[in-house]
Structure 1
Amino acid sequence: MSNTILLPIDLGDPASWEHALPRALHLAEGGVLHIIAVMPNFGMPMVANFFDDAFVTQALHDLGEQLTAWVNTHIPETQEIHPHVVRGRIYDEITAAAKKLNVDVIVMGSSSDNLLGPNAARVARYSECSVFLARG
């Protein structure tokens, strides 16, 4: 088994994790499972100007609470788990987290609209570690 696994999830889309989670738990058995939820940027600077720092801070806090609730529901207590909430481009944040956390493999669901296509392809292309795409 691998020692350190990164599982990116979209809390609003169970397809992003329902097939990937069992595989990530299997690979992380006896090791560490990092779970990352990415809050995307607002896109164009003109749009971002409508959201002040307090709004962004609160949105990240809310996402963190949702991720904690998800972890408490879906992850066995015996598994060492480290949840992370970040903001930015999905694929950039996933590959940066994998590098920073020195993970052995990224396990991603491949049937999610947010992780399918460009994001999964870019993670697989630019990640310095192996990427496991769990198909539904």
Structure 2
Amino acid sequence: MSRIILLPIDLSDRDNWKKPLAEALSMLGQGGMLHVVSVLPDYGMSQVGAYFRKDHEKEALTAFGKALSDWTAANIPDGVDVRPHVLHGTIYDEILRAADKLRADVIVMGAHRPALKDYLLGPNAARVVRHAPCSVYVVRD
């Protein structure tokens, strides 16, 4: 039984979150808390950001937050203590930062079937596994 579970999801990829969600819910004990996080990547280089409207990033974060709230309402059973979090930046960095800040007992995350260059895990899952401050349970899709 884990008291604090961090579940990173990709809202656009049902195959990425369906199995990890089921595993996280089965691991969640009575009185436990589920933190669902989704990361909106930043633009990276300033040259890229210059091609977007001034308020585009703020609008994107607002829309992303609504989508995550809607996802939570539609997919998390009643009675589960769940907290959705929109993160912004590099995916693996933001997941690691959230795990540390929230004092997660375990991170439950999906991993795509790897390409040959990734060999065992996708790049985000591999970095999270290597650097997480807690246990990481990787669920294959």
Same fold (TM over 0.5): yes
- Structure 2 vs 1, CA of residues 63 and 85 (structure 1 numbering), >3 Å: closer, same or farther? same
Moved over 6 A (4+): none
Change (3 A) 1:61 1:104: same
| Alpha-carbon distance between aligned partners in 1 of 2:12 and 2:138, rounded to the nearest angstrom | 19
Instruction: Give the equivalent residue in structure 2 for 1:45.
Output: 46
2 CA distance for matches of 1:92 and 1:131? 15
**What one-letter code is carried by the residue in structure 2 that aligns with 1:117?**
G
Structure number with bigger Rg: 2
Once residues 78 and 94 of structure 2 are traced to their aligned partners in structure 1, the CA distance between those partners, rounded to angstroms, is 27
Assess, with a 3 A threshold, how the Cα gap between structure 1 residues 25 and 117 changes in structure 2: closer, same or farther.
Answer: same
Output the amino acid matched with 2:129. Answer: A
Determine the C-alpha separation between the residues in 1 that align with 2:54 and 2:110.
31
The Cα of 1:124 is off from its aligned counterpart by: 0.3
Tell me if 1:128 matches 2:133: yes
Provide the aligned length of Structure 1 versus Structure 2: 134
User: Which residue number in structure 1 is paired with residue 23 of structure 2?
Assistant: 23
- What RMSD in Å do the two structures reach over aligned CA positions? 1.5
Note the C-alpha offset of 1:112.
7.2
Judge which range, 90-99 or 28-37, deviates more.
Answer: 28-37
Cα distance in 2 for partners of 1:112, 1:62 equals 29
Q: Is the 8 A contact 1:13 1:112 kept in 2?
A: no
Identity, % of aligned positions: 46
C-alpha contact (below 8 Å) 1:4/1:34 kept by paired residues: yes
Once the two structures are TM-superposed, the CA of residue 52 in structure 1 deviates from its matched residue by 4.4
Alignment gaps of 5+ in structure 2: 115-120
CA contact (8 A) 1:15 1:112 kept: no
For residues 42 and 67 of structure 1, do their structure 2 counterparts lie closer, same or farther at Cα, with a shift above 3 Å needed? Answer: same
Which letter does structure 2 place at the counterpart of 1:21? Answer: L
Query: Which residue is 2:118 aligned to?
Result: none
Considering fraction of residues, name the structure with more strand: 2
Paired AA for residue 81 in structure 1: V
Separation of aligned partners in 1, 2:23 and 2:54: 37
TM-score by length of 1: 0.93
Structure 1 pair 38–49 and aligned structure 2 pair: CA distance change class (3 A): same
